């Protein structure tokens, strides 16, 4: 009986230690994209204003390609689960930090306007540990945004664009 009980405890402990992360369904959260109509066709001015707004939110620019109308940020650490839902593991909410990246895309349109889209993504590398502290599960995966980053960036973009006289719809 003692041996059976010991075997059952071993299976329970190792079964939980090697279980996968229950990843979030991104669709249950807010959209990770924000879109504005901009009353300007000046790609350089729009990307410059966007860069200032993203830097004011604590992001560093990784690259700007005016010919493609694109700006990408370097990854910024954000707390889990406050900003990013990275799921659960063994019924507990995944904690720690996620890497957040923003991509701004500006496309001119036939009229005197353009469309600015900001996309937000966050991802994490999760390491699950057993009772002895040994890593038993390690996964890198995309998390779902909780909308705080998009809201903060939206407010900053609207304020910077207004200050620079770039009209948004």
pTM equals 0.81
Cα–Cα separations (whole angstroms), residue 135 to 29, 62, 90, 156? 30, 32, 14, 40
The region that residue 4 occupies, defined by phi over 0 for left and psi between -120 and 50 for alpha, beta otherwise, is alpha
- Give the pLDDT mean for 96-115: 94
Report yes or no: 164 and 36 within 8 Å, Cβ to Cβ.
Answer: no
What does the pLDDT look like over 52-65, one tens digit per residue? 999 999 999 999 99
- Give the pLDDT mean for 108-130: 90
Q: How high is the pLDDT of residue 129?
A: 79
Domains observed in the chain? 20-163 (3.30.530.50)
Residues near 23 by beta carbon (within 8 Å), at least 6 away in sequence: 86, 87, 141, 143
- Give the pLDDT mean for 114-129: 90
Confidence of residue 5 (pLDDT cuts 50, 70, 90): very low
Secondary structure (3-state) at 1: coil
Confidence of residue 77 (pLDDT cuts 50, 70, 90): very high
User: Percent of the chain, pLDDT > 70?
Assistant: 83
Cα(151)–Cα(83) distance, integer angstroms: 11
């Amino acid at each position: 009986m003692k041996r059976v009980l010991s075997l059952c405890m071993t299976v329970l402990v190792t079964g939980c230690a090697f279980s996968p992360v229950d990843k979030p369904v991104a669709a249950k959260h807010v959209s990770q994209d924000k879109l504005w109509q901009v009353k300007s066709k000046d790609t350089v001015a729009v990307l410059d204003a966007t860069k200032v707004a993203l830097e004011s939110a604590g992001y560093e620019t990784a690259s700007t390609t005016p010919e493609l109308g694109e700006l990408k940020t370097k990854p910024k650490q954000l707390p889990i689960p406050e900003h990013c839902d990275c799921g659960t593991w063994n019924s507990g909410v995944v904690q720690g930090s996620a890497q957040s990246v923003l991509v701004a895309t500006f496309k001119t349109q036939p009229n005197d306007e353009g469309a600015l889209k900001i996309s937000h993504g966050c991802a994490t590398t999760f390491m699950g540990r057993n009772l002895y502290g040994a890593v038993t599960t390690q996964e890198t995966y995309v998390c779902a945004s909780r909308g705080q980053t998009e809201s903060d960036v939206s407010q900053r973009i609207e304020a910077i664009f207004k200050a620079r006289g770039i009209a948004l719809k």
